[in-house]
Amino acid sequence: MANFKGHALPGSFFLLFGLWWSVKYPLRYLSEKVTKNPHRNHCYQRLDVIEGATKIIFALIGMLAEQFVPDGPHLYLYSGEQRNWVKLMNWQHTTMYLFYGLSGVMDVLTYSPLKVPLGMDRLMLSVAVFVEGFLFYYHVLHRPMLDQHIHSLLLIALFGGACSTMLEVFMRDNIVLELFRASLTILQGTWFWQIGFVLFLPLGGPAWDEDDHDNIMFVTMCFFWHYAAAVLIMLVNYVLTYCCIQKYKRSNGEIDIGLGIRKQKNDKSSHTALLHGSDEE
Amino acid sequence: MANFKGHALPGSFFLLFGLWWSVKYPLRYLSEKVTKNPHRNHCYQRLDVIEGATKIIFALIGMLAEQFVPDGPHLYLYSGEQRNWVKLMNWQHTTMYLFYGLSGVMDVLTYSPLKVPLGMDRLMLSVAVFVEGFLFYYHVLHRPMLDQHIHSLLLIALFGGACSTMLEVFMRDNIVLELFRASLTILQGTWFWQIGFVLFLPLGGPAWDEDDHDNIMFVTMCFFWHYAAAVLIMLVNYVLTYCCIQKYKRSNGEIDIGLGIRKQKNDKSSHTALLHGSDEE
Amino acid sequence: MANFKGHALPGSFFLLFGLWWSVKYPLRYLSEKVTKNPHRNHCYQRLDVIEGATKIIFALIGMLAEQFVPDGPHLYLYSGEQRNWVKLMNWQHTTMYLFYGLSGVMDVLTYSPLKVPLGMDRLMLSVAVFVEGFLFYYHVLHRPMLDQHIHSLLLIALFGGACSTMLEVFMRDNIVLELFRASLTILQGTWFWQIGFVLFLPLGGPAWDEDDHDNIMFVTMCFFWHYAAAVLIMLVNYVLTYCCIQKYKRSNGEIDIGLGIRKQKNDKSSHTALLHGSDEE
Amino acid sequence: MANFKGHALPGSFFLLFGLWWSVKYPLRYLSEKVTKNPHRNHCYQRLDVIEGATKIIFALIGMLAEQFVPDGPHLYLYSGEQRNWVKLMNWQHTTMYLFYGLSGVMDVLTYSPLKVPLGMDRLMLSVAVFVEGFLFYYHVLHRPMLDQHIHSLLLIALFGGACSTMLEVFMRDNIVLELFRASLTILQGTWFWQIGFVLFLPLGGPAWDEDDHDNIMFVTMCFFWHYAAAVLIMLVNYVLTYCCIQKYKRSNGEIDIGLGIRKQKNDKSSHTALLHGSDEE
């Protein structure tokens, strides 16, 4: 949907995931650091599965919204009568959501009895971001200059995020990469909202002159301010998490953070034991 | 051959290899995982040699077809009379096949007594894909927009695959990279068929308007649907392999998968012992 | 400030940091090498904190200068009366300094009790250089050819430096990467001065013809001469450091280099012990 | 020198180095493999120093040739009378040679008592190749299409080689990377000769039509044939080396290959012991 809601919806999805990650990863990192406990809490695997399921749900909501809004294609791709494609823009957005859905499926399968190789979930997430990037890249040709520029700035966040997620295939659980991914996801979320506000003026006001070079310059700068804001949000969440853990530690003498009950050895094969009585035992 | 068969032939080659890899790598991964046996079956080296030989045969078929079709160059490169190059398109395709042939030769040599360094086979495969990518890149300039676009989408699969194969030089037997390579090879195979159908209409029907922007948009999207399909095929093959191995395990109590008889230590130098009584012993 | 001082100021900042690094890293490397002491001197952590603070101060000076020069925006971003943006060029430069300031903050936090993951400081520095690169990239469109070219050469140093700093996230304390970063920072510093001299002629003289292709060619070549000079400076500093350490060693029999008193085990967690009685003990 | 000799000279330099490497690296690899001796022969360090010295000499020859050919700039850079730059093309070539000279200096210093960090030699070589690449990139703008294309193909070899050499900084003595570098260097050498033959017709014959698209297509293909030839040359040299070592082994029972007398532990610090009584002992 090339309107405000069509940008606010994915923007909110990305923002939610980004903010969640900016809490989850520091929490995991600091709780291990503070307890000097090298064992990984089992609950983080359960969280990954829930994350995967949430991705699938978000992707389904997005796909249904793109297809069945009043001016959507309603699953028609080609109109035989008029001999042309139906609402390709909505179909493209559906495609983007589809890959995030596939990424969610892979997240869930990683912890299923199927023993899908660790790393396939990160690879699929990376592919989903690359697909979004390439679709945007071809998407914005032949548009007004400001529209083209404001979308192409997104490509920096997308290809940066896709590459860093690809690295996570080989360096799983690297806290720096995870925080970087979180910050770029927040950036993507807030920038989708910004695009909506600039192009569709939901609050009214004068339209932006799409060919004014000064507007282009401001938008470029504004994109990096968003990133600076994302970094600050990350930092605040990190500090809050740190304080929580310190407080919890002082009151309990022991860290548990209310997330898991048992502790278990973080041996590589244990991740399959989550959802079923493992075949290996 | 700039016709339907000229795209269907390489498409079939890539599809065959992609599908084969999408069975072979999960089979190897799961049989090691299930038996908790870190030793590599000898048969996989024999398979690699057979794969290499198949590559050489496919490359020869491709080269001969490009040269000796009725409107081919029949090994003439320069026509002295007319002072011009003969059928350069066919020569370019011959060149692409040549590099896949070289990659096959390197595969075979890796397991020969020559002790060619492990990793040269992956490097040569990566180079072959890069060469195909660069030839396509220069190939499609000065063509109608749709023709150019449909080929340039292939570049995403090619350069992605070349980079991931290059990584395999340093991370040999990384299951995630191998599955990624398999999925991109399937994509390449099906996309060659799609190009053939779009540009040469083997089943008849109205020709595509090569300058319609909507067609471009649809084709872009369609490329990523092909990839989604490739991922699903991979997933199905993975699950089928998993079921086969589980069934086999239950009936035999022991895993052998009918592929190898002896098990042997996976020490690095053992790969030379395949085809000859090793000099080292 | 698109004038000579606006280029000389950041040029001096980069030059100072580059020169400092070209002394600091060889000093650390050689003192460890010569003493065969694998332990890291504590003082290098204190130096990192001081470096971070210096970055913050330089960034503040830069931001204040850009905002409050007589023809600066004085913190006004949008002029409601004239309905246009105010001095966007200065705002863009302010944005660049802002990210270096954030990088300084992250440097300081890395050695604070917050246990910010090691590597975040390098990531943030890399991001700051990337942001500078992207801003320059969009900055120079629609300018005379020479102006555009002389700034775009800087992009080579910027993106090269950003990538190499990104690598330092994963290969911390790699002396080769650190020296490479130092050399590119010196290059950036001297090139800012060169840009100032070419575009604003502070010493008078005839203006450069901005559309003469020969000038473009000379400037390209000149850029690489600057890099050759940077490499030579690095080499001279390296040799001087080497001689100092050898002299010191001969006179003391023991290396201390006047920097640190205690030696301490370089265990990964010890870096938090710098500024406070560590919680962990 | 934009003439045949100006391309044949660097072409010969690259060809010599490429061929030498295509013998040296298999020799080292196979002699270690066959003797199962993990210790590195001392002579390879001596060879590296000789290589560095040869690079310096070649670079000096190149620089002097570019400056003092009859139509060269004779070290004049700016003509005050005519207010223009003197022979910038020759100056650019001089700059390229300069960086290879610096790379040679770094090679020599690596094995000097200065303890220059291992890896700086590879970094400097990589930088030299990058500089050549960037200079070529800006060099060929505003030239006839064929001239531009034939030079830009070289960029593939240059940037590929620069990246792979950069990897060697972190994966020193990786045989695959070394052979890849050798093959790209041979390619560069033969391609320089090819450029000379195409553009300057040293043997006479009709000039190439510089705007004929077919010529462009042929040249593209021809570039990859050169690479196929380079791979075959590498393979032949590898096999010859293998045979030599096998023959030597049979006649001596022990491998020494006439290169070194003592064997020594390949501990990391030993590389400084080459040229002097090490300070460490």
Residue D84's beta-bridge partner residues? D79
Per-residue pLDDT, averaged over C230-238, amounts to: 96
How confident is the model over B136-147, as pLDDT tens digits?
998 777 788 888
pLDDT attached to residue A1: 59
pLDDT number for residue D201 = 86
Is the CB of A266 inside 8 Å of chain B's CB atoms? no
Provide DSSP, B224-257: HHHHHHHHHHHHHHHHHHHHHHHHHHHHHSS--T
Sign of the dihedral defined by the CA atoms of residues B26, B27, B29, B33, in that order: positive
Chain B residue with Cα closest to D164: B166
Minimal Cα–Cα distance from C162 to chain A, Å? 12
In this predicted structure, the answer to whether residue D252 has a pLDDT above a threshold of 90 is no
Contact status, residue D169 vs residue D124, Cβ threshold 8 Å: no
Q: What pLDDT is attached to residue B38?
A: 57
Give Cα D96 distance to the centre of its chain: 12
* D82 Cα distance to chain centroid: 38
Share of chain B above pLDDT 90, in %: 54
In this predicted structure, what is the pLDDT of residue A239? 94
pLDDT below 70 — which residues of chain A? Answer: 1, 35-41, 253-281
A280 in C contact zone (CB under 8 Å): no
Tell whether C92 is within 8 A of chain A (Cβ): yes
User: What's the angle, vertex CA A176, arms to CA D160 and CA A220, rounded to 5?
Assistant: 70
Question: Residue B79: enclosing H or E segment and its boundaries?
Answer: strand B78-79
pTM for this entry:
0.88
Using the 8-state DSSP alphabet, how is residue C272 labeled? G
Taking Cα atoms as reference points, which of C270, C268, C73 lies closest to residue C173? Answer: C268
Among candidates D114, D119, D127 on the partner chain, residue whose Cβ is nearest the Cβ of C239:
D114
**To which H or E segment does residue A84 belong?**
strand A84-85
Mean pLDDT, range D264-271, rounded to an integer: 38
C142: left (phi over 0), alpha (psi -120 to 50) or beta: left
State whether C171 and D170 contact (CB < 8 Å).
yes
Main-chain dihedrals φ then ψ at residue B270, nearest 5 degrees: -65, -20
CA angle in degrees (0–180, nearest 5) for C214-C219-C220: 100
Cα-based distances in Å from C280 to C119, C213, D122: 21, 64, 42
At residue C32, the pLDDT reads: 83
Does C155 contact D at CB distance below 8 Å?
no
**C224/D135 touch (CB, cutoff 8 Å), yes or no:** yes
Measured CA to CA, the distance from residue A180 to residue A184 in angstroms comes to 6
Distance CA C221, CA C239 (A): 27
Nearest-CB residue to C30 (from D115, D119, D124): D115
Least confident of A27-41, C131-145, C169-183: A27-41
Q: Which of A118-127, B255-264, D267-276 has the lowest average pLDDT? A: D267-276
Give me the helices (H) in chain A, please: 4-35, 43-68, 88-110, 120-139, 145-170, 175-200, 213-252
Q: What backbone torsions phi and psi does residue A84 show, to the nearest 5 degrees?
A: -150, 170
Query: Nearest CA of chain A to the CA of B47: how many Å?
Result: 22
pLDDT of residue A258: 45
8 A C-beta contact, residue B98 and residue B60: no
Please report the pLDDT score of residue A279 as a whole number. Answer: 38
Which has the closest alpha carbon to D133: D162, D167, D91, D104? D162
Is A170's Cβ below 8 Å from some Cβ in C?
no
Q: Between chains, do A29 and C117 touch, taking CB under 8 Å as contact?
A: yes
Q: How confident is the model at residue D36 (pLDDT cuts 50, 70, 90)?
A: low
Using a CB-CB cut-off of 8 Å, the residues of chain D touching C227 are 127, 131
The single-letter DSSP state of residue B38 is -
Residue B273 binned pLDDT confidence (cut-offs 50, 70, 90): very low
- The DSSP code for B274 is S
**Residue of higher predicted confidence among C86 and A241:** A241
Rounded to 10 degrees, the C-alpha dihedral B224/B226/B232/B235 comes to -90
Per-residue pLDDT band for B280 (boundaries 50, 70, 90) equals: very low
Q: Where is pLDDT greater, at D121 or C39?
A: D121
pLDDT at C276 over 50: no
Distance CA B157, CA B129 (A): 10
pLDDT in tens, D97-122: 999 999 999 999 998 888 899 999 99
For residue D66, what are its two tokens? Answer: 């570019």
Could you tell me if D236 lies within 8 Å of chain B, comparing CB atoms? no
C229 touches chain A (CB under 8 A): no
Query: Which chains have 3+ CB pairs within 8 A of A?
Result: B, C
Please name the member of D115, D135, D138 whose beta carbon is closest to the beta carbon of C33: D115
A58 to chain C nearest CA, in Å?
30
With contacts defined as CB-CB under 8 Å, which chain B residues touch D30? 115
Distance of CA A73 to the CA centre of its chain: 26
Strand, helix or coil for residue D140: coil
Model pLDDT for residues D67-86, shown as the tens digit of each residue? 998 888 888 888 777 777 88
| Backbone angles phi and psi of B225, in degrees to 5 | -65, -40
Which partners does chain D have (≥3 C-beta pairs < 8 Å)?
A: B, C
**Does B98 reach chain D within 8 Å, measured CB to CB?**
yes
More confident residue, B20 or D209: B20
In sign, the C-alpha dihedral spanning C152, C157, C160, C163 is negative
CB pairs under 8 A between C and D: 60
CA of A42 vs chain C CAs: smallest distance (Å)? 22
The two three-digit tokens of residue A47, written as one number: 């969280």
| pLDDT, position B9 | 93
**CA separation for the pair C25, C51 (Å, rounded):** 13
CA D207 to chain centre: 30
C97 and chain A: CB distance < 8 Å anywhere? no
pLDDT per residue over C180-227, tens digit each?
999 999 999 999 999 999 988 888 778 888 778 888 889 999 999 999
Q: Note the pLDDT of residue A191.
A: 96
Of A117, A131, A279, the CB nearest to B175: A117
Q: Do B131 and D171 touch (CB under 8 A)?
A: no
Query: Do B221 and A170 lie within an 8 Å CB cutoff?
Result: no
Point out which residues pair with B85 in neighbouring strands. B78
- Our CA-based measurement puts residue C263 at a distance from the nearest CA of chain D, in whole angstroms, of 21
Torsion of CA A120, A125, A128, A130, to 10 degrees: -100
CA distance C239 to chain D (A): 7
CA distance A236 to chain B (A): 35
Q: Residue D263: what are its φ and ψ, rounded to 5°?
A: -105, 150
Q: A–B: how many Cβ contacts below 8 A?
A: 61
Nearest CA in chain D to C221: D92
How many CB atoms are closer than 10 A to CB D43?
Answer: 18
**Encoding tokens for residue D27?**
């020799």
Local structure of residue D259 (DSSP, 8 states): T
For residue B42, what are the CA distances in angstroms to A54, B110, B141, B266?
A: 43, 14, 47, 9
Chain C within 8 Å of A111 (Cβ-Cβ)?
no
CA C94 to chain centre: 16
pLDDT in tens, B38-62: 556 677 888 999 999 999 999 999 9
Residue B267 has pLDDT above 50, yes or no: no
Residue whose entry in the numeric block shows the structure tokens 């200059």: A145
Identity of the residue numbered A277: G
pLDDT of B275 over the 80 cut: no
Which among C116, C135, C142 is the nearest to A220, CB-wise?
Answer: C135
Distance CA C216, CA C227 (A): 17
What HEC string does C165-178 produce? HHHHHHCCCCHHHH
**Cβ neighbours, 10 Å, residue D204:** 6
Distance, CA of B100 to CA of B63 (rounded, Å): 10
Counting residues of chain C whose pLDDT is more than 90, the rounded percentage is: 54
DSSP letter for each residue of C177-199: HHHHHHHHHHHHHHHHHHHHHHH
Q: Are D116 and D106 in contact (CB under 8 A)?
A: yes
pLDDT number for residue D41: 62
Give D40's pLDDT tier (boundaries 50, 70, 90). Answer: low
Contacts of A179 in chain C (CB under 8 A): 117, 120
User: Hey, are the CB atoms on A98 and B30 less than 8 Å from each other?
Assistant: no
Q: What is the predicted pLDDT for the residue at D80?
A: 75
Taking the CA of residue D236 and the nearest CA in chain B, the distance in Å comes to: 12
Beta-carbon neighbour count of residue D54 at 10 Å?
16
Average pLDDT, integer, range C260-277: 38
Token duo for residue D166:
């950069």
Calculate mean pLDDT across residues B267-276. 38
Interface test with A, best of C76, C93, C116 (most A CBs within 10 A): C116
D and B interact (at least 3 Cβ pairs within 8 A): yes
Average pLDDT rounded to a whole number, residues B216-223: 92
- Low-confidence winner among B21-30, D196-205, D251-260 (lowest mean pLDDT): D251-260
- Contact B92/D at CB under 8 A: yes
Are the C-beta atoms of residues D188 and D157 closer than 8 Å to each other? yes
Is the Cβ of D216 closer than 8 Å to some Cβ of chain B? yes
pLDDT surpasses 70 at B101: yes
Inter-axis angle of helices A4-35 and A88-110, to 10 degrees? 20
Percent of chain C clearing pLDDT 70 (strictly above): 87
**Which of C127, C141, C166, C281 should we substitute to test contact with A (largest number of A Cβ atoms within 10 Å)?**
C127
pLDDT of residue B138: 86
Residues C200 and C8 sit within 8 Å (Cβ to Cβ): no
CA distances to A56, A93, A231 from A16, in Å: 14, 19, 15
Question: Strands, E, within D20-122: which ranges?
Answer: 78-79, 84-85
pLDDT at residue C280, rounded to an integer: 37
Cα A249 to its chain centre, rounded Å, is: 31
Residues of A in contact with C267 (CB under 8 A): none
Say if the Cβ atoms of B176 and A123 lie within 8 Å. Answer: yes
A137 touches chain B (CB under 8 A): no
List CB contacts of C227: < 8 A, sequence separation 6 or more.
C157, C183, C187, D127, D131
Contacts of D12 (CB under 8 A, 6+ apart): D189, D193
Report the residue of chain C nearest A164, measured CA to CA: C166
The reply to whether residue B280 touches residue D36, judged by beta carbons under 8 angstroms, is yes
Residue D76 contacts B, CB cutoff 8 Å: no
Measured in degrees and rounded to the nearest 5, phi and psi for residue A37 equal: -105, 110
B269: nearest Cα among B260, B278, B277? B278
Mean pLDDT across D219-224:
94
> If you average pLDDT over every residue of chain B, what do you get?
85
Q: Which residue of A has its CA nearest to C95?
A: A221
| Cα separation, B1 vs B92, whole angstroms | 10
When pLDDT is averaged across residues B49-77 and rounded to a whole number, the result is 91
**Which of B204-213, C182-191, D7-16 has the weakest average pLDDT?**
B204-213
Tally of helices (H runs) and strands (E runs) in chain B: 7, 2
